[in-house]
């Protein structure tokens, strides 16, 4: 009996142990899976045939020693590579070296031609006669005329038709009075004439915008008055502060001397009642722009005297002899300094000077240019290199023509025609001769724009835009200088030759 009980208890223990082992094995099955799979792989490797072993080793060897893959060359357009910083640095180095050679050659051939006294003579013939400055001072008469016409219109003293007629007379006088003065005053130098006419041209565009915006305000006020008369209610007037702490101005509260003269001096051609204002004047920024202006002005004048003037003077004989190969050679030789000076002028005027004035006047909108250097079409260049003029043309000339039913192509032609007129106005009148080279050069942009937009794309279009800038301007410079030289010094040259 005792043996049976012991055997029974042993069997019970054995069953319990087996059950416990089975539960533990089931819990550890997941962890032991990797070990089992590894053992299976080892068994498979032990039972591998020599052929399978040779195949696996050959595949691993191919992957380990492979050095080729499917790919394009870096300079191919399909490669997607775009980091050409080293090539750009190389271009800059080559440009510096080539121009250093030209500078050295110029100094050896002509010596130092920079003359400060000659610079003063470009602006003044007589030190006691300042006709350009006097003409600029007289421009205040036209500013006051525009202001008082608008004041009369705001209170209803004169009708819209009378106001429009007076504005037209004032704007026409802005163009014809300075032109007649420059042509009639003998002491006016070409450089002084360009400066005076440039000021009056900017003033013409500003006062045209001033007249338009105030007219729009009167029309809006009349429309609101009709609405209020129908509803027999009057809204409360609220004067809000601007972002920089300036009082919000509404029409006709803007018709003040302070307002119009602020508009005259800020670097924009489009009038607004409330301009965006910067919170403060940054003195370091202002000083940097001032130093840039002074340095770049001296650099431009020095390059014109040392580099451009001798090249232009040496171009007269090929023009007189009509030697085509020599004319082309002179044109290409003039293209480099002319384009270099034009780039310096762009930075001096549109970045340094305009930012200096804007910072001084706390004018907030500093978009004076966009990325015109990436232009792939001619219209993109003309709409991005001079943003103040582009905004004015779009706001006061192009869109009003579209509203009146003029189609887009005709409106674009009209914009180019107006631009061509002002280019010729600013060149022919100070030189006191009318040859239309600037006008024809601007109008030639129309077929060129069609050709580039139709047949050239991407980098080719960008190269065409750069070529038109580099080659087009020296052609106009040579043509004007040749005609000016023949007109003023032709008889003296013939007498010396005789």
pLDDT at 231 over 70: no
Instruction: Quickly state the pLDDT bin for 237 (edges 50, 70, 90).
Output: very low
- Using CA atoms, how far apart are residues 15 and 21, in angstroms rounded to an integer? 10
Residue 186, token pair as written in the block? 């003998």
- Using CA atoms, how far apart are residues 305 and 296, in angstroms rounded to an integer? 14
pLDDT at 23 over 70: no
Cα–Cα nearest to 289, from 301, 278, 281: 281
How confident is the model at residue 244, as a pLDDT? 43
For 32-61, what is the mean pLDDT?
48
pLDDT at 389 over 70: yes
Could you tell me if 150 and 271 are in contact, meaning their C-beta atoms sit under 8 angstroms apart? no
How confident is the model at residue 395, as a pLDDT? 94
Q: Where are the alpha helices (DSSP H) in 347-436?
A: 354-361, 378-382, 387-393, 399-403, 408-431
How confident is the model at residue 56, as a pLDDT? 52
Higher pLDDT, 75 or 448: 448
pLDDT digits 0-9 by tens, 103-123: 888 888 888 878 777 777 777
pLDDT at 236 over 70: no
pLDDT at 29 over 50: no
Could you tell me if 242 and 278 are in contact, meaning their C-beta atoms sit under 8 angstroms apart? no
Give me the residue label for tokens 């190389």: 90
Could you tell me if 275 and 213 are in contact, meaning their C-beta atoms sit under 8 angstroms apart? no
The whole-chain average pLDDT of the chain stands at 80
How confident is the model at residue 41, as a pLDDT? 47
Is 423 among the residues known to form the active site? yes
Give me the residue label for tokens 């007269």: 316
Instruction: Quickly state the pLDDT bin for 313 (edges 50, 70, 90).
Output: confident
Higher pLDDT, 270 or 34: 270
For 317-334, what is the mean pLDDT?
82
For 157-163, what is the mean pLDDT?
92
Higher pLDDT, 102 or 296: 296
Higher pLDDT, 328 or 18: 328
pLDDT at 368 over 90: yes
- Torsion angle in degrees (nearest 10) through CA of 157, 160, 161, 167: 90
For 387-410, what is the mean pLDDT?
92
Of the chain, the end-to-end C-alpha distance in Å amounts to 159
- Using CA atoms, how far apart are residues 288 and 351, in angstroms rounded to an integer? 11
How confident is the model at residue 485, as a pLDDT? 76
Q: Which of 47, 339, 423, 482 is catalytic?
A: 423
3-state helix, strand, coil split of the chain in percent (to 5) is: 75, 0, 25
- Using CA atoms, how far apart are residues 285 and 105, in angstroms rounded to an integer? 38
For 96-106, what is the mean pLDDT?
82
Distances (CA, A) of 479 to 311, 434, 487: 13, 12, 12
Could you tell me if 153 and 218 are in contact, meaning their C-beta atoms sit under 8 angstroms apart? yes
Q: Which residues of 248-268 are buried (b: 16+ CB within 10 A; e: fewer)?
A: ebebbebbeeebbeebbebbb
pLDDT at 423 over 50: yes
pLDDT at 217 over 50: yes
496 phi-psi bin (left φ>0, alpha ψ -120 to 50, beta other): alpha
Cα–Cα nearest to 445, from 479, 410, 469: 469
Instruction: Quickly state the pLDDT bin for 473 (edges 50, 70, 90).
Output: confident
């Amino acid at each position: 009996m005792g043996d049976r009980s012991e055997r029974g208890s042993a069997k019970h223990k054995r069953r319990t142990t087996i059950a416990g082992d089975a539960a533990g094995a089931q819990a550890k099955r997941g962890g032991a899976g990797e070990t089992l799979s590894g053992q299976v792989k080892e068994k498979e490797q032990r039972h591998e045939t020599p052929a399978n072993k040779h195949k696996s080793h050959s595949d691993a060897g191919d992957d380990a020693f492979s050095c080729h893959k499917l790919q394009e060359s870096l300079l191919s357009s399909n490669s997607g590579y775009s980091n050409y910083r080293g090539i750009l640095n190389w271009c800059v180095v080559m440009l510096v070296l080539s121009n250093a050679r030209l500078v050295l050659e110029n100094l050896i051939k002509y010596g130092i031609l920079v003359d400060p006294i000659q610079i003063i003579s470009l602006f003044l013939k007589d030190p006691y006669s300042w006709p350009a400055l006097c003409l600029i001072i007289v421009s205040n008469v036209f500013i006051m005329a525009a202001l008082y016409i608008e004041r009369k219109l705001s209170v209803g003293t004169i009708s819209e038709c009378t106001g429009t007629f007076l504005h037209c007379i004032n704007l026409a006088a802005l163009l014809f009075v300075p032109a007649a003065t420059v042509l009639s005053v003998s002491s006016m130098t070409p450089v002084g004439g360009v400066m005076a006419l440039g000021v009056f041209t900017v003033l013409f565009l500003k006062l045209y915008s001033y007249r338009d915006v105030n007219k729009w305000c009167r029309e809006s006020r009349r429309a609101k008055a009709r609405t209020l008369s129908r509803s027999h209610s009057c809204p409360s007037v609220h004067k809000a502060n601007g972002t920089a702490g300036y009082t919000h101005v509404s029409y006709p509260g803007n018709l003040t001397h302070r307002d119009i003269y602020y508009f005259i001096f800020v670097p924009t051609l489009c009038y607004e009642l409330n301009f965006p204002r910067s919170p403060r004047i940054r003195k370091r920024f202002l000083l940097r722009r001032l130093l840039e202006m002074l340095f770049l002005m001296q650099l431009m004048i020095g390059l014109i005297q040392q580099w451009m003037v001798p090249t232009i003077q040496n171009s007269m004989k090929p023009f007189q002899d009509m030697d085509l190969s020599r004319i082309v050679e002179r044109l290409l030789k003039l293209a480099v300094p002319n384009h270099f000076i034009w780039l310096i002028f762009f930075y001096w005027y549109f970045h340094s000077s305009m930012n200096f004035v804007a910072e001084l006047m706390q004018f907030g909108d500093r978009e004076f240019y966009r990325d015109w250097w990436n232009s792939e079409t001619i219209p993109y260049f003309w709409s991005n290199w001079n943003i103040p003029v582009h905004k004015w043309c779009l706001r006061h000339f192009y869109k009003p023509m579209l509203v009146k039913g003029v189609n887009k192509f005709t409106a674009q032609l009209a914009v180019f025609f107006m631009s061509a007129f002002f280019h010729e106005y600013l060149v022919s009148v100070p030189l006191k001769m009318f040859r239309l080279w600037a006008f024809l050069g601007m109008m030639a942009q129309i077929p060129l724009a069609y050709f580039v937009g139709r047949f050239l794309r991407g980098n080719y279009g960008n190269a065409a835009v750069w070529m038109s800038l580099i080659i087009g301007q020296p052609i106009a410079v040579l043509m004007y200088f040749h005609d000016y030289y023949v007109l003023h010094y032709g008889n003296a040259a013939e007498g010396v030759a005789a």
